[in-house]
Each structure stands twice: as C-alpha cells, then as structure tokens.
Structure 1
C-alpha cells in the first residue's frame, strides 16, 4: 500500500512528513502541511497526544482541542524505548522529507534523533524542532504558551491599566510558532530543490512571540519604550477600540484622518475633525479622553446595529462584539464557509476551514482527526512496499554501536 497519493494535485502532494510533535504548535504546523497535500504520519506514544485528554468540550467523547489541529493525518503509536518500535520510526524517517518534533532539547539524542544525528544519517532531511525557550540557557524551561505570554511581556501589556496582567483567550503564540515553523519548513523545501541538501529548522516559542509582538517589541528595542497596559485602547491610534452606544459597546477603528472625518460627520459633529486638538493622529492620542466624551455622547443616541450599518456604509471601520458562535455565523453570512467536514461518511466531523484559498489546487479535508494507532497497518504496509530515500551509509549503525 502507498500512503502517498500521486494523483493529488495539491501543492505539497508527494512530500512525506514524520510528525513526532504533540499538543499545539507542531500539530498545527503539520495540519497546515497536510491540508496542502503532504502525507503526514502522526507518531504518538501509546498514551496518545496530551490534547486527546483536554476536555471539555468534546464531540462524541473526542476532545475538540485535539480535533482542532489533527485532521488529514495518519496516526500510529510507538514506544521509542523499544528497539522494534525505534527501528520502525527510523524506517518512517528513511522515507520522509520532513521530520518535525517538539521534544525537550536533547530529549531525542538517546534515540539517535537529535538534529546533528538526523542530518548526518539523512542528508536531505528537513528536521524542524520547536522548543519553548531555545536549546541554550532556556533549555530547562517547559514550553507552555502561558509561560511565554508571561515571560515575553505580552501579559504585561494586556488588560486594564488598573487591573492585573491578562492572558489571551487562546494559546495564540503556540499557533504563531506553528505558522513560523510552517514558513521555515517551506523555505527549507524550496532551498533543497536547489541544493539537494536538508537542514535544521529551529523555532522557539519565546522568539516567535517577540517577533509577533511587532510594534510593541520594536518600540522597546528601537527607542527603549516600555509599553504599559491600556485596556482596549491602542498605544498609537485613536479612536481605536470599544465605545459605548445605546445598548452596549461597538468597536471603531480609525487609522487615518479621512476615516476620522467621516466618523465625526456621521456622529453629527463634523467640526470636531477640524478642532486643533484632533486634526492629526498624534493630537488625537494626546487628547483622547476629551475626544472619547464627544464620540460616546453621540453614539449613546443609537443602537450598536444602527451604528454598524451607518458607519460601515461610509467605510468607517467598525464592528459589534460577538461571541465565537456569532462570529462563525457572521462568517457564513459573508460567504466565507468557515466550517468544513473532515473525513467521509459517518466518520466525518465538522472542523474550522483552512483560511488558505488556492484557485487551482484547493485545500481538501479527506481525513478526520485519527484515533490512536488507527493507521498502523497501513503505515507498516507502506514501509514494506517502499524504499528508503538517502540514508548515509556511515550512519546506519545502531545508536551507541
């Protein structure tokens, strides 16, 4: 049996990914690769990926956390401490283009799968590692997203000015690290097409987070600015955030003078756009509390829905604050098709659609998130019917032999 579908026209069809990652950052990366056509073999311990146990919520007893990042994959379970299973792991990597893992630094060395060992044994392999805080001084720190939110400064700038530091409502930097890993892998694939050589892709959550903090971190390193919590306000833009209407808060985002002028015209206060206190963004920031009073006095005369329709009609960026479910339904109203069924027949489950839309070779959702070890027979048959790619002869000895 061949797990690789050579009739598949998606961009990454033909690439084989040995996925030894777990939890979120790595599995998110490999799901993106699988959505785009790569054959992903998810290798777990017999206890399974930690996220299989992260409930509630669940669908038919399956963790929706696990479901969110594991569609389109083949799943097997191995115990690398057993020689037979380790040899099978080698056989899979023998045939893989990409090996991805998020073990603790040096955690794979005893299995012969440390980055220096893999690139020696498999010269064209792309080995991607995700750690929490790198492999030097932070090697001992566990890579949890919440720790990174704290140590990066993200929590320090999130929350109300007089309140405590606040975490994001999702493990956002695991996702960002997964995206960075995907970009790094694709860059390595492109470079290998020229050189024929593999390389190591090294991503750590802290560096990924600091890059994702963009203007906040750059403001610090470029001019020693130390950002503080502003609640829902923006440090550089105003009006930009929630404002009180008659029946609740509406988000308004004015990124330039033209948008601000149109906002004040709709609020019945066109003269405010010419007030010397508010004519430019820096002035509006300096006098934001006086401007907030003027804006909210007008907004309180109408409902959120009324303002959303009126302001949107003149291209003033605004939005009501919705729940997750309301956001999905709004996306459906816009024709964005946010829900896709992964798998076929009775095994199909609803998942959140990929945001990547390709005109000729679209994403597919062929495989539902797999159960533990469900594909062991298929993967074993594939190994037995295929040959290794480019194993270096001098590195074929057993680890420590």
Structure 2
C-alpha cells in the first residue's frame, strides 16, 4: 500500500521499529463494536485504519451516552476519521479512489446495506481483485441471515445465556459484548489469513465473521459434552461442574474471592493454607467424593473464608500455589499493580463525551520481534478528511465542492 499519507504514523514501543501490518491500509465502514473492534485489532498490529463515517453524526454510538461514548473511545483509537456520504455519487467516487490504495475493507452494516450502496463484494471484486473484504454480520448466509442481530441475540441463540447466571434465576448476558468481540477476533484472524493467502495467489477474497456462529464456537466444549453424555448444562454462576471446590467466596471484609484448585496437590495445599483437615475426611478425599458432597464442602469453606480478610485469604492460598484471585471491580483493574508494571494501559484523550484522559487497554500480546503501537487518540468526526483527500490528489476547491454537494 502506498499513495495515502498517514499523518498518525504508528511506532513500536520497543524491539523492531516496524510492525507486522505497517504497509496495510484498512478502510472501515463500521459502527458500535463489532466492525470497529475488528479494525482496532488490525491497527494494533500496525495497519493504517481509515474510519469512513457519514458526515451527519458518524458512528451510531458517537455522542450517544456515557457508555456509548466510552465504547467509541476505546474501539476507535489509532484510527483516522474521514466523512463521506456514500449516497452521494461524488463521495462514492472518492471512496473508489481510496479502494485503489486499500488492502482491506471491514464493514458491519446491516445485511444488504453495502449492496444497496453499490459497494458489496460482488460490486467491488472485479474492480479491485486484490481487496480483502471482511463482513461482520449477525449470521452466516442461511435461514437467519436477514434477521436483526445484536450481541445479546447471539448470546441467547448460542446457549451462552443458558449457562450464565445462577440456577433458578433468569438467564443473563455477559457483562461485556462478548459476541461482538468474538466475531471481531474471528474476522481479524480471517483477514490475516487472507493477507497471507494473497502473498501466494495475488488475489483478494471475502470473509464473513458472524456473531452467532462465532459465539457458538465459544460454547464448543459444552456442545461436545451434551452430545457425548446426553446431559444439558444449566447456569453455573462462578462454578464449574468438573471441579470441587471451584467458586467465589465472601470474605470478612465483604469482598469476593475466587478459589479453584484443579488437582489433588492443589486441594491438599488449600487445606494446609486454611488449616483444614478435610483432605483426610472420607467425604472429601477424592474429587468424585467432593463433587458428591459439594453442599457440605461449600458450607465449610464459606464459613472459613468469611473469617479471613480478602488480602489474607489470597496471600495464604497463593503462597501454597492454589489458584486464587480477588474479584476486582473495574476501578481496581485499572490500578492493578501487574498491569501497571507491564505497561498494559495506554492513555488517550476522548473524542466523545469527556475532556478527561483515559487509560485503556493496549494490545495484550507481546512479541520478541516487534513492540506495541504508541496509541493515538480516537478521532473527532471527520478529523482527517482534508489531509486524506489531499493525499489522493484533491485540491481545496475539489474538497469544497464535495462539501457543498453534500458528499462530506
């Protein structure tokens, strides 16, 4: 990719100065979470991402609410914003000029929208044979493909809601947009695969990443269990039917701590750390016996944990090698000493909703050969329109005409 100058050049924070996707240009026609999160992952690997937004408001969650603004500010860091009204013929010509330079297009429009605008994959593949076209949809082509889709729809249909929450209570959605993000991860992986394939074939392709099927894939081992053992799992809270104990426990200071020994050595270590002689109790000697007598075991552990502070409980169990963690609130995660020490957060200024700088997660993977991007702020609506158009050869009068005609 060349020809579109990048006024927000990414640099690696350590190791090599180059990133794996430094020479890749991505156009994003995205809104809310799924499309923008996918292209953010590509930006984290060095891609230049141009977010193409409608001039009247842009992304649907820009300026929508505190949660919407915060979602926007996170998933749209490290991008440039270009406003184009793609219903305008003149603006569509600009978009086609961009496609001449682009490697990847990511879109999560409602089904049929891109085709109505004349920018569906079948419209573009002959004109831009090397283009990789990533569509993030609710469903793969099939009986459901035209249904409206949201993250909770995928969580409900996939069975994820049925195992989330507590027995006797209504099903609950995940506390974050797990279906949107699952589709985004699969979309980004497919784009990387398509880029690798293009090196060998010289041709692009279309990949579709669906919320529903991506979330079903996350349920894979429960589907395998149901098929193999003819048993349907129900809500699990924080527990897991394979282990005992494996759950959250309230402490003397009214905190919650997760404890999950996953082997006999760790079970014995738990008993030692908490001065319990349960490992020799005939009800609890083996994992099978602990599962059979789980209610009695949990009652004992709940009383024991309630007599210790969370700090003491975590410290004693951790010293003995027992998997344990305090259940952190979101503000505690931001102050987590490990995350601070490993430079996990990057600070950006918000494009929407607040003037306060924010610490937000960086790309979590570390590499021996390349660093992580020094993140740029999420863009204001249309912030980079003029420099992007200028780099395509449009002069000031061209840009003004586009604006007067309603294209920008």
Counterpart of 2:147 in structure 1 is 141
Matches within 5 A, 1:87-166: 87-166=93-172
CA contact (8 A) 1:343 1:366 kept: no
Q: Alpha carbon RMSD of aligned pairs, Å?
A: 2.4
Q: Distance in 2 between matches of 1:343 and 1:3?
A: 23
1:253 to 245, 256, 260: 260
1:205 to 183, 186, 211: 211
Counterpart of 1:32 in structure 2 is 41
Q: Secondary structure at the match of 2:207?
A: strand
- Shift of the alpha carbon at 1:149? 1.6
1:84 is the counterpart of 2:90: yes
Q: Secondary structure at the match of 1:200?
A: strand
User: In 2 relative to 1, CA 333–53 (structure 1 residues): closer, same or farther, beyond 3 Å?
Assistant: closer
User: In 2 relative to 1, CA 159–145 (structure 1 residues): closer, same or farther, beyond 3 Å?
Assistant: same
CA contact (8 A) 1:41 1:73 kept: yes
User: In 2 relative to 1, CA 122–279 (structure 1 residues): closer, same or farther, beyond 3 Å?
Assistant: farther
Counterpart of 1:396 in structure 2 is none
Counterpart of 1:265 in structure 2 is 272
1:371 to 361, 372, 380: 380
- Shift of the alpha carbon at 1:128? 0.5
- Shift of the alpha carbon at 1:123? 1.4
- Shift of the alpha carbon at 1:57? 4.8
1:54 to 40, 54, 64: 64
User: In 2 relative to 1, CA 199–263 (structure 1 residues): closer, same or farther, beyond 3 Å?
Assistant: same
Q: Distance in 1 between matches of 2:66 and 2:247?
A: 32
1:313-352 Cα distance to aligned partner (Å, 9 max, x none): 11111112221011221245761323212479x9975432
- Shift of the alpha carbon at 1:285? 2.2
Q: Distance in 1 between matches of 2:113 and 2:119?
A: 9
* Aligned residue-pair number: 379
1:23 to 32, 35, 60: 32
Q: Distance in 1 between matches of 2:356 and 2:200?
A: 41
Counterpart of 2:73 in structure 1 is 67
Question: TM-score, length-normalised on structure 2?
Answer: 0.86
Q: Secondary structure at the match of 2:106?
A: strand
Q: Secondary structure at the match of 2:35?
A: helix
Question: TM-score, length-normalised on structure 1?
Answer: 0.88
1:170 is the counterpart of 2:176: yes
Q: Distance in 1 between matches of 2:158 and 2:5?
A: 41
Q: Distance in 1 between matches of 2:304 and 2:211?
A: 44
CA contact (8 A) 1:268 1:298 kept: no
Counterpart of 2:405 in structure 1 is none
Q: Distance in 2 between matches of 1:362 and 1:347?
A: 27
User: In 2 relative to 1, CA 347–198 (structure 1 residues): closer, same or farther, beyond 3 Å?
Assistant: farther
Counterpart of 1:391 in structure 2 is none
1:278 is the counterpart of 2:280: no
User: In 2 relative to 1, CA 54–279 (structure 1 residues): closer, same or farther, beyond 3 Å?
Assistant: farther
- Shift of the alpha carbon at 1:239? 1.2
Counterpart of 2:404 in structure 1 is none
User: In 2 relative to 1, CA 190–355 (structure 1 residues): closer, same or farther, beyond 3 Å?
Assistant: same
CA contact (8 A) 1:260 1:273 kept: yes
Extract unaligned runs of 5+ from structure 1.
386-401
Q: More deviation in 275-284 or 130-139?
A: 275-284
CA contact (8 A) 1:348 1:368 kept: no
Q: Secondary structure at the match of 1:100?
A: strand
Extract unaligned runs of 5+ from structure 2.
12-16, 395-408
CA contact (8 A) 1:278 1:287 kept: yes
- Shift of the alpha carbon at 1:119? 2.3
CA contact (8 A) 2:111 2:145 kept: yes
